[in-house]
Amino acid sequence: MYVPDTGATADAMRWGTGTALYEDLVARVKVALEYNRKNKLLSVCWMQGEFDLMSPDYEKHPDLFYQMVTSFRSELSEYSSQCVGNSSERVPWLCGDTTWYWKESYQKEYDFIYGHYRQRTDDEIHFLSFQDSNRHELTNEPEEDADDLSVGYLGSSWRTELMLDNVTEKYTF
């Protein structure tokens, strides 16, 4: 839950059918589709699951996730004509990979949860790996994800004090 006076609570980050994040997702998609009848829902990008790796109930994740996907698609049935393939039941969910920290620290749990994403292509649930090279990159330690200011890319180096001072001099956030 988000409260302006105190900020977000842990409940604000909980996912699943009936949670604030879920209700917000459904509401925002409906508003976008109602705002302009030419708008199309092409897919949902899902970047979540890493905190579930730490849970003693991590084995429940795949079923809870699929229940959420099914519920989402059902709630959008009246907008099927605005969904890819003219069916809310076939809106793809693109499940993004997580960082090396989670993969290595919780390997068994990672294999279980993310393995289930990989097995649901018939249900239009697709796993998107972005670290196939087995190199630590993208969202890892500063020395593994260098900045490239020539193109405006801020990797992980901003997390060091020295780089933070340099970046804030050049950029206003």
pLDDT attached to residue 150: 84
pLDDT-based confidence at 84, cuts 50/70/90? very high
Q: What is the structure's pLDDT at 29? A: 96
d(CA 157, CA 154) in angstroms, rounded, equals: 7
pLDDT above 90 (res 66):
yes
Model-level pTM greater than 0.85? no
In whole angstroms, what is the distance from residue 163 CA to residue 166 CA? 5
What average pLDDT does the chain have? 82
The per-residue pLDDT for 171 is: 42
**Residue 125, H or E segment:** strand 125-128
At 167, is the pLDDT very low, low, confident or very high (cuts 50, 70, 90)?
Answer: very low
d(CA 137, CA 93): 24
- pLDDT, greater one: 89 or 54: 89
- Winning range, highest mean pLDDT, from 71-80, 90-99, 148-157: 71-80
Judge residue 63's burial from the number of C-beta atoms within 10 Å of its C-beta, 0-12 exposed, 13-18 middle, 19 or more buried. exposed
pLDDT of 92-132, one tens digit each? Answer: 999 988 878 888 899 999 999 999 989 999 999 998 887 66
Domain with CATH 3.40.50.1110 in the chain: 2-133
Spatial separation of the C-alpha atoms in residues 72 and 22, rounded to whole Å: 8
What is the pLDDT, as a whole number, of residue 28?
95
| Class for the domain spanning 2-133 | alpha beta
Residue with tokens 């990008």: 45
pLDDT tens profile 42-52: 999 998 767 78
